[in-house]
Amino acid sequence: MPIPAPLGSHPAWFYQRMIVASSNGILVTDPHQPDNPIVYANPAFEAHSGYAYDEVVGRNCRFLQGDDTNQPGLDQLRACIADQRPCTTTLRNYRKDGTMMWVRMHIFPLHDELGRLMNFAGFLQDVTDAIEGQRAAEQARQRLSTVLESIADGCFSLDREWRFTYINARGAAWLERRAHDLIGKRIWDEFPEAIGSDFHLAYRRAVASREFTSVESYYAPLGIWLEARAYPTQEGLSVFFADITMRKEAEAKLIHLATHDSLTGLHNRFSCMRALDAALTRSVDNGARVGVLFIDLDRFKEVNDAYGHQAGDTALQEIGRRLSTFSAAGTTVTRISGDEFVIVLESTDAGAARMLAESVLPRLAKPIVVGGHQVMVGASIGVAIGSGDEVTPDELLNNADAAMYEAKANGRHTCSVFSETGTRLLKQRLQLRQEVFNALDLGQFVLYYQPQINAVNGAVVGAEALLRWNHPRLGILGPQTFLAMLEDSPAINLVGAWVCEEACRQAREWEDLGFRLQMAMNVSPRQLTDESLPAMMKEVVERYGLHPECIKLEVTESMLMQDIDKAAQVLHMLKLEGFRIALDDFGTGYSNLSYLRQFPITAIKIDRSFVQEIEQDRRCLDIVNGVIAFAKSLKLAVICEGIETEGQRSAICSTGCDVLQGFLIGKPMAEADFRKLLLAQSAARQQADPGCRQAGKDAAG
């Protein structure tokens, strides 16, 4: 290509100065001399190589490679020189001090006007930083690839056009593709069935917002559950995904176990109240009525007493099977306790509900074969009707309960709709509601104590303080009679403070007798959101000289759900003060195992519903084993409540449970009786809970 006229008109010194000023090294050789020696080197070459001009001129360029002569680019370079044609290659050259540098070299022949070869010229650019940077980046990519190929998750990267730029082997295997078949392909072209899915929406949301996004969803084409975590990058998107099918199946089983009765397979009390609450809420909008059938078996206790618990369980299973035939859309059949069943009806009226009850009665009256014997059980049914703007779920259930007792009073094996008699019972409850608010001032509340024993040696290590109302007319009343009345008012905090005071006073009295026990007390939902609770608890235990670790506060899963943030704040404050926190009735509520990490739980109490069926249903024992193993991995203590038989005790002891509680161990009892129980134990068997004992040592020290 000829030099343009404006440039060609410059004198020779102009081009010489350009060569001298160039930042690239420039060499000129003379092919007419032996060994094609260098005849010129510009200052930039001297600066880059460290060689002076006089050290270079007269030498062949090969000295720059030293002993590093096995370079592919050298063969290419020699061929171009031999053919008198231009050549561009990259070589490893060595500076005068012996250090290596990467040089990008462009050589070309110089001809005169007649086309005769005069010289060879070479432009040398130091590209060491670029080459080393590329190598470092490649090494980093290789290390990253090694890591990504070894992780348990699948992962892939997409560019801004949604094309695959990388996918690891595990991810490709899960997607049932080969990695090299996906590279460069658009994800939505390869997986069109994913368009519109949760994954499609999540990936687009991550790219649009430039924020991390995660999603869990069932991917039907593969028949698995996937969890995907999408991270926006400068190049596009990186996604990590895992097959969570097993976890989802385990969660589904836990949810089923938490919402269903393990013996009959029917919905349990939790499901009953949830269905009732949802139905009443909908009734406010649609104007429909909600019905409740409260079913209580008439002669179940006789079957149990005559033929044993196994026969009783067989009878309950058959009753559950018969009742399940009434399940339909808008109809929920539940077992809420031992021999009590509830049917929740949506969009009904008193006539339809009574008609259903009258259909249930003869079905339950048919004989049941247990242990080769035919037994007659039968039932009494209470019916109540209401809507969400008239009654709460508890009130409607209580109305049906009252109607059921009226049916029993009418001779059993009949049904009754909530009426004046039920109203009178309701009025009695309203009277109790008025009286209960004065019970604290009148000194009518007392604490009963249920013993908790070491599962290994049977020593009493703790007591659960249980509130009772010593009613002047009705005698000792359990909390199920009055506690719900207090829960909706600030009075529950005053009662809770009294329970704390009295339980700590009693713990101090037992400790003075030589019995250091862990005192467990229940916390109400309202207390759990009261920020003054930790300070109040601290003041009381300090006043009685107790160590906080000897006080265990029990909360339920449903309480935590009412105000998660506030509950977590209060519980963390209590934990900082040294109090222990137990998750009560574990397995009956939401059963989300993540709560055990989210809240400062130190112990869990496995609900009695798992224990009751543990001798008959192997699954219950498997569940308890799994829960205990999980709890132990989190260094949580485990208490099993509801131990009523030696078989249950033996089965639970085999699981590694720490503490046992239940009627077999001891029923809730007055303080005087509990003291007798303690004194009956020999001094050699006195043993405090390990954490409480250590706390005592620390406090003493």
pLDDT digits (tens, 9 = 90+) for 452-483: 999 998 999 999 999 999 999 889 988 877 88
646 in any annotated domain:
yes
Sheet holding 415-417, edge to edge: 331-337, 340-348, 289-297, 379-386, 415-417
**Alpha helices, H only, 329-377:** 350-365
Q: Which residues contact 128 (CB under 8 A, 6 or more apart)?
A: 100, 101, 102
Res 590 pLDDT > 60: no
Structure token digits, residue 590: 């939401």
Contact 641, 604 (CB under 8 A): no
Contact 498, 440 (CB under 8 A): yes
485 in any annotated domain:
no
Q: Quick one: pLDDT band at residue 223, thresholds 50, 70, 90?
A: confident
Contact 463, 449 (CB under 8 A): yes
Q: Please tell me which residue, 21 or 573, carries the higher pLDDT value.
A: 573
DSSP string spanning 527-573?
HHT-TTHHHHHHHHHHHTT--GGGEEEEEEHHHHHHSHHHHHHHHHH
Same domain, 124 and 170: no
Same domain, 231 and 315: no
Q: What is the mean pLDDT of residues 259-274?
A: 92
Rounded CA-CA distance 601/117 in Å is 89
* pLDDT more than 90, % of the chain: 39
Q: What is the mean pLDDT of the chain?
A: 85
Read off the CATH number of the domain in which 285 is found.
3.30.70.270
Range of the domain at 236: 151-243
Burial bucket for residue 328 (CB in 10 Å: 0-12, 13-18, 19+): exposed
Q: State the total domains in the chain.
A: 4
433 in any annotated domain:
no
476 in any annotated domain:
no
Burial bucket for residue 113 (CB in 10 Å: 0-12, 13-18, 19+): exposed
The confidence score (pLDDT) of residue 701 equals 31
Q: Quick one: pLDDT band at residue 247, thresholds 50, 70, 90?
A: confident
Same domain, 622 and 520: yes
The single-letter DSSP state of residue 366 is S
Query: Of 193, 210, 243, which marks where a domain is finished?
Result: 243
Q: What is the mean pLDDT of residues 382-393?
A: 91
Same domain, 368 and 457: no
Query: Of 81, 96, 130, which marks where a domain is finished?
Result: 130
Same domain, 270 and 401: yes
427 in any annotated domain:
no
Same domain, 504 and 637: yes
The confidence score (pLDDT) of residue 686 equals 45
Q: Quick one: pLDDT band at residue 242, thresholds 50, 70, 90?
A: confident
Read off the CATH number of the domain in which 517 is found.
3.20.20.450
Rounded CA-CA distance 104/107 in Å is 10
Q: Quick one: pLDDT band at residue 698, thresholds 50, 70, 90?
A: very low
Res 601 pLDDT > 50: yes
Same domain, 122 and 159: no
539 in any annotated domain:
yes
Res 282 pLDDT > 90: yes
Query: Of 130, 165, 187, which marks where a domain is finished?
Result: 130
Rounded CA-CA distance 537/254 in Å is 35
Question: What is the gyration radius of the CA atoms in the chain, in angstroms?
Answer: 42
Res 646 pLDDT > 50: yes
Nearest to 601 by CA among 645, 557, 643: 557
Same domain, 323 and 368: yes
Structure token digits, residue 130: 């670029």
Rounded CA-CA distance 471/435 in Å is 9
The confidence score (pLDDT) of residue 109 equals 92
Characterize 419-446 residue by residue with b for buried, 16 or more Cβ atoms within 10 angstroms of its Cβ, and e for exposed.
eeebeebeeeeeebeebbeebbeeebbe
Q: What is the mean pLDDT of residues 181-208?
A: 90
Rounded CA-CA distance 633/582 in Å is 16
Q: Which residues contact 207 (CB under 8 A, 6 or more apart)?
A: 232, 236, 237
Q: What is the mean pLDDT of residues 45-56?
A: 89
Least reliable range by pLDDT among 99-103, 173-177, 614-618: 614-618
The confidence score (pLDDT) of residue 70 equals 86
The confidence score (pLDDT) of residue 4 equals 44
Res 54 pLDDT > 60: yes
Q: Quick one: pLDDT band at residue 693, thresholds 50, 70, 90?
A: very low
Q: Which residues contact 641 (CB under 8 A, 6 or more apart)?
A: 605, 606, 607, 608, 611, 661, 662
Rounded CA-CA distance 172/190 in Å is 12
139 in any annotated domain:
no
> Residues 299-323: pLDDT tens digits?
787 777 777 888 889 999 999 999 9
* pLDDT more than 70, % of the chain: 88
Rounded CA-CA distance 669/379 in Å is 33
Same domain, 61 and 173: no
Same domain, 358 and 413: yes
The confidence score (pLDDT) of residue 696 equals 35
Nearest to 616 by CA among 309, 305, 321: 309
480 in any annotated domain:
no
**H or E element at residue 110:** strand 100-111
Characterize 524-554 residue by residue with b for buried, 16 or more Cβ atoms within 10 angstroms of its Cβ, and e for exposed.
bbbbbbbeebbebbbebbeebebbbbbbbbb
Q: What is the mean pLDDT of residues 390-401?
A: 91
Read off the CATH number of the domain in which 157 is found.
3.30.450.20
Q: Which residues contact 452 (CB under 8 A, 6 or more apart)?
A: 460, 461, 462, 463, 464, 518, 520, 639, 659, 660, 661, 665
Same domain, 126 and 155: no
Res 49 pLDDT > 70: yes
Q: Quick one: pLDDT band at residue 14, thresholds 50, 70, 90?
A: low
Same domain, 626 and 674: yes
> Residues 489-526: pLDDT tens digits?
778 889 999 999 999 999 999 999 989 999 999 998 88
